[in-house]
Amino acid sequence: MSKFWSPLTASLVPYVPGEQPKDKTYIKLNTNENPYPPSPKVIDAIKAAANADLRLYPDPTCEGLIQAAAAYYGLPAQQVFAGNGSDEILAFAFAAFFDPAKKLLFPDITYSFYKVYAKLYGLQTELIPLDEQFNVQVDRFHSDNGGVIIPNPNAPTAQLLPLDEIRALLENNPNQAVVIDEAYIDFGGESAVQLISEYPNLLVVQTLSKSRSLAGLRVGFAFGSEELIEGLNRIKNSFNSYTLDRLALAGAVASFEDEAYFRETTAKVIATRERVTEQVISLGFKATESKANFVFISHPSIAAKGIFQQLRDRGVLVRYFDQPRINEYLRVSIGTDEEMDALIAALREIAGS
């Protein structure tokens, strides 16, 4: 607390990102980063952009990047927005679309940044409980609300909602924005981008951080009707017109030009996920059905917090959430096969089998 803080600053409860420790080299399975490097074409493009033009401001409209993303999904450029990571776009969307006079709806177990943004913007919230199996109960998102936001697949549960349920959600909420946060959609889901021509209230948010190995570049997208994209641009241009720098723009465009690499690395992550899921189950854990680049696991008799600590002592970092309903679970990002072999070996010791 400081006397220099505004009442808003004093009221905030900021997001706590997964740790990025510097004390020793860990096997890092705690922030859902991609274990594979970005495409070499991305690195080349960034190097080529590191030139004297850095004295100039970047393109505030992100035109080249927006065209690349629009072409990728077969959309007009007016239906695409680019931002400094999807977190920034989510922050803009909260300001642009959610009505403070009504409640914003999201699942009780979900991406913890939503609560933080709601507080920042003074929005009331209503948490809609997942069912016992951690499925999103779409039919409970239908009250007179100020907006809806759901990650698909959900985090940290990793479970996917099929498109027909997203469709039901949109049908039930025609008069407010429905934001689908698709940070993990490329690991086995079907994107709701294909629904935006039918639903002017649908905003789909994606990121290059997970499936394109570019968490360090900070690039995200939103796809939606022209009116929603214009709403995001109104907020962005009331905040910071240059959210994406020249290097990020160059690297992000190049990532769309290497589809083969993208497919190969996501397929590897998926194959490793399937193998690891079977292995942890054979060690006595249960796991949700993951369509993301992480698994969500729980042991029936060993406390998750203890497993977290024992893994840490063995140099393996995973994520533990000390919150109701999920405090016996661990979220484990999918690393390389070698990293996951080390995880399995450590879990085998800890589970004593």
| Longest Cα–Cα distance in the chain | 60
- Quick check: 181 binds ligand PLP (CB under 6 A)? yes
- Which of 229, 325, 256, 224 lies closest to 69 in space, CA to CA? 256
Q: Which residues of 71-107 are buried (b: 16+ CB within 10 A; e: fewer)?
A: eebebebebbbbbbbbbbbbbbbbbbbbeeebbbbbb
Say if residue 2 is exposed, middle or buried (CB neighbours under 10 Å; 0-12, 13-18, 19+).
exposed
> In angstroms, rounded to a whole number, what is the distance separating the alpha carbons of residues 310 and 308?
6
| 159 contacts ligand PLP (rule: CB under 6 A) | no
Contact flag: residue 186 with ligand PLP (CB under 6 A):
no
Q: Which residues pair with 81 in a beta bridge?
A: 222
Q: Mask: binding to ligand PLP, 258-277, rule CB under 6 A, as x and -? A: --------------------
Q: Which secondary structure element, helix H or strand E, spans residue 191, and what is its range?
A: none
DSSP 306: H
Q: Is 215 in the site for ligand PLP (CB under 6 A)?
A: yes
Q: Is 207 in the site for ligand PLP (CB under 6 A)?
A: yes
Question: Does 213 sit near ligand PLP (CB under 6 A)?
Answer: no
Within residues 57-86, the interface with ligand PLP by CB under 6 A covers: 85-86
Rule CB under 6 A: is residue 209 a binding residue for ligand PLP? yes
Give dist(CA 95, CA 331) in Å, integer: 30
With residues binned 3-state (H G I as helix, E B as strand, rest as coil), the percentages for the chain, rounded to 5, are: 40, 15, 45
127-156 mask for ligand PLP (x: CB under 6 A)?
------------------------x---x-
The verdict on 107 binding ligand PLP (CB under 6 A) reads no
Q: How many residues bind ligand PLP (CB under 6 A)?
A: 13
220 is a site residue for ligand PLP (CB under 6 A): yes
Per-residue interface string for the shown chain with ligand PLP, residues 32-61, x marking contact by CB under 6 A: x-----------------------------
Burial class (CB in 10 A: 0-12, 13-18, 19+), 147: buried
| Residue placing its CB nearer to ligand PLP in the complex, 91 or 297 | 91
Q: How far is the CB of 213 from ligand PLP (least distance, A)?
A: 12
Interface positions with ligand PLP (CB under 6 A): 32, 85-87, 111, 151, 155, 181, 183, 207, 209, 215, 220
